Structure 1
Amino acid sequence: MAISRTPPLPSRLPHVGTTIFTVMSALAQEHGAVNLGQGFPDFDGDPRLIDAVADAMRAGLNQYPPMAGVPALREAVAAKIEALYGHRYDPGREITITAGATQAILTAILACVHPGDEVIVLEPCYDSYGPNIELAGGTIVRVPLTPGTFRPDFDRIAAAIGPRTRAIIVNSPHNPSATTWSRDDLERLATILRPTDVLLISDEVYEHMVYDGRTHASAASHPELAARAFVVSSFGKTYHVTGWKVGYVAAPGPLADEFRKVHQFNVFTVNTPVQHGLARFMVDPAPYLELSAFYQRKRDLFRAGLAATRFRLLPSEGSYFQCVDYSAISDLTEAAFCRWLTTEVGVAAIPLSAFYAGGFEQRIVRFCFAKKDATLDLALERLARL
């Protein structure tokens, strides 16, 4: 009798295991900890949006939409970008609806990165960037943001650009550090890229969460950068429905054409009734225009409570994250401190070292404050012991 045998499968991602987000969320659940680790809200989206999607389902809008997305939604996205950032994208050719921002970033990388090409990433960074580049056969070139401030080091960025550089990935507002790029930062980047053919992948999923009077500096608002950029955003982040996994990419025609070639073969298209519901909901801009004030109140509530602890608060300029330095509390490594905080204090966080390929240690952890006030209050009550 033949013995069943599974053939060996060489890994495309041999260095990738279970993400820290999955590990910490499981640990939080096991110990009944308040989960401020994984970055998603614990409250519902607007009932009007839910109703709009349900109405679309009941109206029979349940079959495949156009590959690039429902026209009404692409038009709404183009109108929003033009109103906020002054750049008009052609909704027919230059806006593509995606299965979340993570798919959008992977598709952009697969569309433009060939084996042997180099892609610059600024560390610390979102954990999908590196594996995406590896899947495309590219080489990751890691440039650290300045320790302590997490500001871009433009001299190091310029030095990292070489003849094989295909693209650079920029994320603002930034996950995990909660810093934001300014208009001057965009100008510095444009100056560096001007003599090159380097493309820009601009991850702007937290574009509507900027605080203290700042305005989001979108690559779409800078004509030179817009001409070479895939601009990525997320309906899930903006409308508190991260599980819907719907986002979009705005890019000039020649880039969008290549993006869609890949998009049509990795997802083809995206959930039809959700697209129709979003298009209807976006007629009113108030939900995204008021989002910064909504989250700034939560940020301020959370920061006020943390001020009573021995954590040192880092600035939170945008996104829904707050980083803290725990040097005055513990000598543990970041991962060990997060495990201790979860199991002994009852609050889960994410080690900043998880966002560095080499696990750079700074005794900094990241909290997510996209939670109900009651959730934040409970977390702060437990953290008050520190």
Structure 2
Amino acid sequence: MVAKEGARVIELENIEHQKVHGRTTGERSPLTLFWTGSGVEWNVRGSELWIEAEAAYDQYEPWISILVNGEWVSRQMVTAGRHWICVFRGMNAEVAKNVRIVKDVQAMSGDSACRLQLHAVKTDGDFLPVEDKPYRIEFIGDSITSGEGVIGAKAEEDWIPMWFSAVQNYAALTAGALDADYRILSQSGWGVLTSWDNNPNANLPRYYEQICGLLTGEKNRELGALEPNDFAAWQPDAVVINLGTNDGGAFHSPAWTDEATGETHKQRLNEDGSFNREDLKAFEAAVERFLVKLRACNPKAQLVWVYGMLGLPMMPAIYRAVDAYRANSGDRKVSVFQLPNTTEETVGSRSHPGALAHERAARDLTGYLKELLPPVTVKG
């Protein structure tokens, strides 16, 4: 590391003014970034800023993006070990810069060694207060919400962290358009009842009440990933749920077998290719149960179930489940919104929605959420 003379090292726990994004523990020495889109934000008045990051992994390395004054200026892999990374240098020392360090890659349930932590900064400047945004939005989803496929050529098919983006995905873009702070809980291949390959353990509702309970391994347990989430500390104005795509895919995938018990699980198709009604009802019941859990954890939030960027096969079942929840609970702050389908022009890598698809989805969703969110109170 070559930093400006006079720059000083400050541990994160000693920075008075900073905003931490994403679910995590109260530990700041170091700060562990679990979910996609998680990170840290500062207003820095100085000419230079470095961050000290630490990464570990067996298969899937973390990536980060750096935003300065709201603009995406850098993206890079964080290789294993502890490193100093330059955020900016040579800037006007008298002008405050808003800086965000964003974890681009989802929590990797398939790699128990994968982790990303921030230890300290090195700067010649000072940290100024970071104001909260007028809204808070939580996004829950699968690979689409993880931003898989946003980066990379259409020909790319390797399942690697390089093709994920937490900056260009619809969640970040929607939050930006609404001037909202946001959190993302997402996992590629997972659903509300089962994963794409019929694994009933790979569903987001099972782990929703933990900080990041889908992670495995003793190290993640030590870091607090399995601890209960403190919902009182961060209450959203809206929860956007984008699940169902993988549940639909499960109907067309082979049965999943539990290696420990030998039990199998399969979402079945009828002989004519339609969905088995009994299995479809199990999906609808899972949607309704998740809405009950979401309302218990987020008593005042708008609950918006969104779907459609990779087809609409589960949309009738989603509508039925949401209608059943509304009828049984009397809850009127819950709705369904259809996102625009991905086309040949908007597809990205790995046959997933590309940047153009996410931009279009964000525009549509932003317009819808504006109708639901309370008006911003002007400070005076």
> Would you call these one fold, judging by a TM-score over 0.5?
no
Identify the structure with bigger relative contact order (alpha carbons < 8 Å, sequence gap 6+). Answer: 1
Q: TM-score, normalized by length of structure 2?
A: 0.30
Q: TM-score, normalized by length of structure 1?
A: 0.29
The structure whose residues are more often strand, as a share, is 2
